[in-house]
């Protein structure tokens, strides 16, 4: 074994590594070795974990013989390749629902199948509702388990709210009644630091536990006799719909947003409920595939991480 100091040279806030002459290095081995270094024990002048040039000069790493380096690189490359394939499969699965929507209903911007059209408020069972604002003293202590889960902006970029780890608040019965969510509701992002994130929608999962939404959202409740929630979610999030009917209604420079008045003017195509139901059933099948792909990716990543840590331990 060889113990080598690794000199790093700064380029702005990034460093590059140049192996010292006279040592046999496989550059991919160095790449993997540096990826598993624990930088949490190192602090920069700002207190943020990181690697300074001085730390780098003092960092000692174990370098096995070249054949062993190549064996390690081969194992890690194979494991990382599996992770990459899993992520690509996840990406393809995510593209299925938008493609299915266009196949069944046509382009929302041009309506080539001639579906009836209504304005967004006319397909809702109750008016738009802005979310609840609560002061910080109404937030439960983290990990206490008391209170009610509330959806915040950081929870709303996954197509559907992920429950179980949301921040909890202390709400009264009237607030639960006025701002409670059900499986048939949708949430619209009223504002976003990112223009593309403004007016994006997310769904609400089925649950027996109450759920509230905060003031960054507008609640939509579709009339189930004319428009299914899953259909409206995919219609309003469709890129063609957004380009034709939504993005032009978003305002703001630093923070982009949409208000109820602007949403009043958004048109909605209304295919038959039976066709919408067929779409919902197919979406359910696709989501099952996506869940399987996500689980497989998580397992592949965990395998790679464990292998990376194990090969360099000791």
What is the pLDDT at residue 3?
A: 40
| 3-class DSSP assignment, residue 206 | coil
C-alpha 250/C-alpha 118 separation (Å) is 20
Angle between helices 273-312 and 96-105 (to 10 degrees): 170
Give the CA dihedral 129, 131, 132, 133, nearest 10 degrees.
-130
The first and second tokens of residue 26, run together, are: 């496989």
- Angle at alpha carbon of residue 30, lines to 26 and 35, rounded to 5°: 150
Q: Would you call 57 helix, strand, or coil by DSSP?
A: helix
Q: Report, as ranges of residue numbers, the positions in the chain whose pLDDT lies below 70.
A: 1-23, 38-61, 193-195, 252-255, 314
- Residue among 194, 169, 191, 165 nearest 179 (CA): 169
**pLDDT tens by residue, 140-185:** 988 888 999 999 988 877 788 988 889 999 999 999 999 999 999 9
pLDDT at 189: 87
Q: How many residues does the chain have?
A: 314
Alpha helices (H) along the chain: 27-35, 53-58, 66-94, 96-105, 173-179, 229-237, 239-241, 260-263, 273-312
Whether the Cβ atoms of residue 256 and residue 191 lie closer than 8 Å to each other: yes
The domain segmentation of the chain, as residue ranges, is: 2-93+296-312, 117-267
* SS3 call for 48: coil
- What pLDDT shows up at residue 181? 96
Q: pLDDT value at position 8?
A: 42
The model scores a pTM over 0.85:
no
Range 117-267: architecture per CATH: Alpha-Beta Complex (3.90)
- Cα distances (Å, whole numbers) of residue 100 to 230, 272, 275: 13, 16, 12
């Amino acid at each position: 074994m060889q113990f080598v100091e690794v000199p790093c040279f700064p380029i702005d806030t990034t460093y590059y590594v140049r192996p010292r002459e006279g040592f046999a290095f496989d550059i991919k081995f160095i790449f993997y070795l540096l990826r598993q270094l624990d930088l949490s024990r190192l602090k920069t002048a700002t207190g943020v974990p990181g690697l300074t040039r001085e730390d780098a000069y003092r960092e000692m790493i174990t370098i096995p013989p070249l054949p062993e380096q190549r064996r390690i690189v081969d194992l890690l490359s194979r494991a990382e390749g599996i992770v990459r394939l899993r992520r690509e499969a996840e990406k393809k699965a995510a593209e299925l629902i938008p493609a299915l929507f266009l196949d069944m209903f046509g382009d929302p911007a041009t309506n080539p199948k001639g579906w009836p059209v209504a304005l967004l408020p006319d397909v809702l069972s109750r008016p738009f509702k802005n979310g609840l604002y609560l002061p910080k003293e109404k937030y439960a202590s983290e990990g206490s388990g008391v209170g009610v889960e509330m959806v915040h902006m950081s929870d709303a970029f996954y197509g559907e709210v992920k429950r179980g780890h949301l921040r909890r608040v202390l709400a009264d019965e009237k607030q639960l009644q006025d701002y409670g969510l059900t499986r048939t509701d949708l949430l619209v992002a009223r504002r976003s630091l990112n223009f593309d994130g403004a007016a994006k929608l997310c769904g609400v999962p089925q649950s027996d536990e109450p759920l509230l939404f905060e003031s960054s959202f507008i609640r939509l409740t579709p009339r189930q006799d004319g428009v299914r929630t899953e259909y409206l979610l995919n219609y309003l999030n469709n890129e063609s719909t957004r380009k034709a009917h939504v993005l032009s209604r978003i305002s703001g420079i630093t923070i982009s947003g949409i208000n109820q008045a602007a949403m009043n003017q958004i048109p909605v195509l209304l295919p038959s409920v039976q066709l919408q139901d067929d779409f919902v059933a197919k979406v359910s099948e696709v989501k099952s595939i996506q869940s399987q792909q996500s689980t497989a990716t998580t397992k592949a990543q965990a395998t790679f991480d464990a292998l990376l840590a194990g090969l360099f331990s000791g």
